[in-house]
Chain A
Amino acid sequence: MKSLPRILIIDDVYGRAMEAENRDRQLFCARLGVRDVTGRGAAASVENPVAEALLHSGQMRTDRRVENDLEGVVECVRAGWRHWPRWALILIDMHFQTGPLDPATGEPQGDPRDRDPARYFGLQIIDRLLQDKELAGIPMVILSSMERKQIEQRFARRGVFAFVEKDQLNREGLDVLLWEHGFLEDDRIVGHSLPILAALRAARRVSRIGNTNMLLLGETGTGKELVADYIHRTSRREGPLRKIFVRANDDMFAADLFGYVKGAFTGAMRDRAGEAELAHQGTLFFDEFGNIPGAAQDKLMRLLDTGIRETQRIGDSRTRKLDLQVVLATNRFEILKDGFRRDLLQRANAGNPILLPPLRQRREDIPLLVEFFVRRHEQRLGAEHREISTGAMELLQAASWPGNVRELENEMLKAVSDYRGIRYLSTEHVDAVRGREAVPVAPVPAAVASPRSPGPEVEQHLSLQGVMEEMDQVEFDIESRELWAGQLMGCQGVYARLMARYLQAALAASAIASGEPRPTTAIRMLLGRKTLRTSDAASTIKRLLSVSREAIADLLADESLHLGGTLRWAENLRGGAGRRPAAGQPGKKKG
């Protein structure tokens, strides 16, 4: 059941304690349509509230003075961010009035420095929250009646989504802010962990654009179809949601998608509209987009080109113009690297995919999902209502779930159907997941640690190939760009340097016997293989050194490390395997 989004409003006037009547706060809440959940002396009830709000003054008050309390604010933000219900959005005032209390009004008289844009307490709060890694990604909006121009550059940074004039904000405006920037639950998608809420927000934002394409990337069982449904619902498009499931080597794919006219091919007994046509003014969802056969990729170009958006039935000379929102989903992350037409990927908006988190990144949601699936299957199978033991839940939360939510659901179905008559679900009923606890991060391959003698450990750990694949997935498992707040580039940089150093070590090892570095030997050692084609070695080198050229620019420039020369060798190899690199460069002999 979806709960009301919870927002935090940091404002010296509206956040003031309610020991005495605070009409400003009550009327503010009425104006925004929010339910005040601050606590003592909460305000009047609000009909159909948009959100529930906690109001914080951001200040400390003594008998005589009022001072700003930065650490108090941070603690309040942190407390409401760690656990559910967590802040969907934070609204921050800029100007906080401090100083001695005016005996007549009981309000702070103000300090001239309070009004100095360079010292606005609201900006100090934002700066402080941005510095805190735990709090990175909290959606923040400035709510102020101060002059915007003076602080424009300072707040135009990641994490601050908007500046809203205080006297302009109302119920509808807050609703829009929440919709665009907030972390909101959905009725039909179970979960409120940050990764899933971030994915839903990304989906909402794209769905509003309308006639566009978007790519959903997620492992199997992460709910791509559910999210496509969510995108369609939130887009409020008039037409239907049509789904097309792409199977590998599907001969009928083009006919299903584009439709056909009678006699177009054997078995075409009558005219038939394709799914694309049927989705006109609505949403077309391609599941397993990565399976689209190569021949059909060409035909898809005109449909995915948002400027053209045309479809043509097979055997028909007429084209039909469509108004479509296209959602493409795949679990094949590798299509972004190869195997797909680049121009098709560009049209698919592959540069900005919506990343659906695997279940291992949203363990917080497992209890909710377990409860949901157990109840669903109890009802479906007419089974007894059961309690779920803490031990069983802990076991389920610790499992790795490579099949993600789908696998969890299957496990719960089995637990209910096998034990219909019980009223207590214990570890015995989910014992099958025992031993599937999440695996630790793969250690550095022994081949790299000791290139001369790889040793038996190589067999027990992930190969370099495995590490690269894992790292590729880490790159795509990023919860969202906002949540990472710029750390993605840093992570990629670290990864790039690590890979470059591996290669450097392997090149050095390969030089021990022959006196000069030999790229293919180095890669063979890194991969733990007995044989390796030169072209495979070259493509691995390019892959290792192409994660972030900027991050390893210094290593590439240092000729003594042989990395730059090795990369040139690999890049030039296309003209003919084994072509010799320039004199003085590594790999003169076949590896």
Chain B
Amino acid sequence: MTREPVVIEDWESRRSRFNHDWLKNRHLNRLDGFLALLASPAAAPPDLLAGFLQHDLVEWEKKAGEARDLLARFEDEMSPRACFSQPPLCLLPAARREWLAQDLHDLWRARYPVSDWVAAAREALHEAEQAYHVLENLLGPHAGERVKQARTLRAEFVAFAAACRRLGDCVARLPHEILIV
């Protein structure tokens, strides 16, 4: 039997890295700061705006993948079934371990609205991705044009920020520990 890593901590720490370290601490801060600068054009240095559009905004593409992966792995890693891959439950005979793990997983899904939690987070992610693509299409590929274009897209940036904030809330609502059934 191969010993698996401690996946429970891994999911939680990956969630923290995504949601706390990046989404809330960086991404939303940058988006809100950018929006504040758009609202007061006189104080907005073009370099800062350009830097945000070229380096910060596009980080979303990579991070959206992380979010998808995080949500996809939630059930596997945060279900009580995950406890059967670690001592002491992993020492149970395989036949017994399989049915017991599956039963606990089913109970967990029945007792908690797991599917609803994940579905809500996926929907929020989908909205954010759509809002991002709308923005990217309107901003265009040319670095020089993007700042100028961005100044006309305040509503689209607001929509993207709101969707990202919803995603952050949905991800934060997912349990921080394996819930007992």
- Identify the A interface with B (CB < 8 A): 13-14, 21, 23-24, 26-31, 33, 44-47, 95, 97, 110, 112, 115, 145-147, 165-167, 170-171
Q: How far is the CA of A23 from the CA of B36 in the complex (A)?
A: 14
User: Could you list 8 A-B pairs, sorted by A, with CB under 8 Å?
Assistant: A23-B51, A26-B33, A27-B48, A31-B32, A115-B16, A147-B172, A166-B24, A167-B29
Complex CA–CA separation, A21 to B13 (angstroms): 28
Cβ-defined partner of A31 (8 Å) among B13, B17, B26, B36 = B36
Q: Hey, which chain B residues are within 8 Å of A171, CB to CB?
A: 36
In B1-48, the 8 Å CB interface with A consists of 9, 13, 16-17, 19-21, 23-26, 28-30, 32-37, 40, 42-45, 48
Contact B48 A167 (CB under 8 A): no
CB contact between B20 and one of A21, A31, A47, A146 (< 8 Å): that residue: A146
Q: Are A166 and B45 in contact (CB under 8 A)?
A: no
The answer to whether A95 touches B20, judged by C-beta atoms less than 8 angstroms apart, is: yes
Chain A residues whose CB sits within 8 angstroms of the CB of B24 once the complex forms? 145, 165-167
Residues on A with beta carbons closer than 8 Å to the beta carbon of B33: 26-31
CA distance A397 to B40 in the complex (A): 45
The residues of A that contact B35 with a CB separation of less than 8 Å are 31
Instruction: Identify B44's interface contact among A24, A44, A115, CB under 8 A.
Output: A44
Q: For A95, what are the chain B residues with a Cβ–Cβ distance below 8 Å?
A: 20
Decide yes or no whether B52 CB sits under 8 A from chain A: yes
CB–CB B48/A45 < 8 A:
no
Residues of B within 8 A of A145 (CB): 19-20, 24-25
Q: In angstroms, how far is the closest chain B Cβ from the Cβ of A115?
A: 6
B30–A167 touching, CB < 8 Å: no
The CA of A141 and the CA of B17, in the complex, are separated in Å by 23
A147 proximity list for chain B (CB < 8 A): 172, 176
Q: Nearest 9 pairs between A and B by C-beta?
A: A27-B33, A145-B24, A31-B33, A167-B28, A30-B33, A31-B32, A167-B24, A47-B40, A30-B36
In the bound complex, CA of A31 to CA of B35 (Å): 8
Contact of B30 among A24, A33, A112, A115 (CB under 8 A): A24
Beta-carbon nearest neighbor of B51 in chain A? A23
Bound: A44/B52 CA distance, A = 14
Give the distance in Å from the alpha carbon of A170 to the alpha carbon of B45 in the complex.
20
Q: In the complex where A13-B25, A167-B168, A170-B32 touch, is A27 in contact with B52 (Cβ < 8 A)?
A: yes
Say if the beta carbon of B76 comes within 8 Å of chain A. Answer: no
- Give the shortest distance, in Å, between B167 (CB) and chain A (any CB): 11
B106 part of interface (Cβ distance < 8 Å):
no
Interface residue? B56 (CB, 8 A): yes
Smallest distance from the beta carbon of A231 to chain B beta carbons, Å?
32
Q: Let me know if B20 and A27 touch, CB within 8 A.
A: no
Cα-based distance from A24 to B176 in the complex (angstroms): 27
Closest to A12 in B: B25
How far is it, in angstroms, between the C-alpha of A46 and the C-alpha of B55 when the chains are bound?
Answer: 22
Given known A-B contacts A13-B25, A46-B43, A95-B20, A30 and B37 have beta carbons under 8 A apart: yes
Indicate if the CB atoms of B32 and A45 lie closer than 8 Å: no
Contact A97 to B21, CB < 8 A, known contacts A27-B33, A27-B34, A44-B45:
yes
Kindly report which residue of chain A lies nearest to residue B56, judged by CB atoms.
Answer: A23
B42-A47 in contact (CB<8A): yes
Query: Are the C-beta atoms of B176 and A28 separated by less than 8 Å?
Result: no
Instruction: List the A residue with the shortest CB-CB distance to B165.
Output: A167
Pick the residue among A13, A33, A112 that contacts B36 (CB under 8 A): A33
A23 touches B48 (CB 8 A): yes
A24 to B28, CA, bound (A): 10
CB closest chain-B residue, reference A21: B51
Q: What are the residues of chain A within 8 A of B168 when measuring CB–CB?
A: 167
A45 touches B43 (CB 8 A): yes
Q: A24-B30, A27-B32, A44-B43 are known contacts; what are 12 more A-B pairs with Cβ within 8 Å?
A: A13-B26, A23-B51, A27-B34, A27-B36, A27-B37, A29-B33, A30-B37, A30-B44, A31-B33, A44-B37, A112-B9, A167-B23
Q: Looking at the assembled complex, report how far the CB atom of A18 sits from the nearest CB atom of chain B, in whole angstroms.
A: 13
Contact B32 A24 (CB under 8 A): no
Tell whether, in the assembled complex, residue B32 and residue A166 are in contact, meaning their CB atoms are under 8 Å apart. no
Task: Please name the residue on chain B nearest to A14 by beta carbon.
Answer: B29
Taking CB as reference atom, which chain A residue is nearest B16? A115
With beta carbons under 8 angstroms apart, the residue of A13, A23, A97, A170 that contacts B52 is A23
Q: Which residues of B contact A30 (CB under 8 A)?
A: 33-34, 36-37, 43-44
Residue of A nearest to B20 (CB): A145
CB distance from B164 to the nearest CB of A (A): 9
The complex places the Cα of A110 from the Cα of B36 at a distance, in Å, of: 31
What's the Cα separation between A495 and B52 when bound, in Å? 61
A132 to chain B minimum Cβ distance, whole angstroms, is: 28
Residues from chain B with a CB closer than 8 A to the CB of A29 are 33
Name the residue among A24, A27, A97 with the largest chain B CB count within 10 angstroms. A27
Closest beta carbon of chain A to B70's beta carbon, Å: 16
Using Cβ atoms and an 8 Å threshold, which residues of chain A touch B56? 23
Q: List the A residue with the shortest CB-CB distance to B40.
A: A47
B165 / chain A contacts, CB cutoff of 8 Å:
167
| A26 surroundings in chain B (CB, below 8 A) | 33, 48
Residue numbers in B under 8 Å from A110 (CB-CB): 17
Residues of chain A lying within 8 A (CB to CB) of residue B19: 145
Q: Which residues of A contact B43 (CB under 8 A)?
A: 30, 44-47
**In the complex, A500 Cα to B128 Cα: how many Å?**
70
Point out the residues of chain A lying under 8 angstroms from B25, CB to CB.
13, 24, 145, 166
A582 to B77, CA, bound (A): 76
- Complex CA–CA separation, A95 to B17 (angstroms): 11
Query: Which of B21, B25, B32, B37 has the most CB atoms of chain A within a 10 A radius of its CB?
Result: B25
CB A399 to nearest CB in B, in angstroms, measures 47
- Nearest Cβ in chain B — how far from A170, in angstroms? 6
Residues of B within 8 A of A47 (CB): 40, 42-43
Q: Which residue of B lies closest to A166 (CB)?
A: B24
B160 to chain A: closest CB distance in Å? 14
Nearest CB of B to A20, in Å: 12
Closest partner residue, chain B, to A43 (CB atom): B48
A-chain residues with CB within 8 Å of residue B21 when the two chains form the complex: 97
Contact B13 A115 (CB under 8 A): yes
In the bound complex, how far is the Cα of B33 from the Cα of A24, in angstroms?
A: 9
8 A Cβ contacts from B108-138 to A: none
How many whole Å from B18's CB to the nearest CB in chain A? Answer: 11
Whole-angstrom distance between the Cβ of A32 and the nearest chain B Cβ: 8
Give complex CA distance A49, B89 in Å.
58
In the bound complex, residues from chain A placing their C-beta under 8 Å from that of B44 are 30, 44
Nearest-CB residue, chain A, relative to B17: A110
Report the minimal beta-carbon distance from A59 to chain B, rounded to whole angstroms: 15
Contact call A27/B30, Cβ cutoff below 8 A:
yes
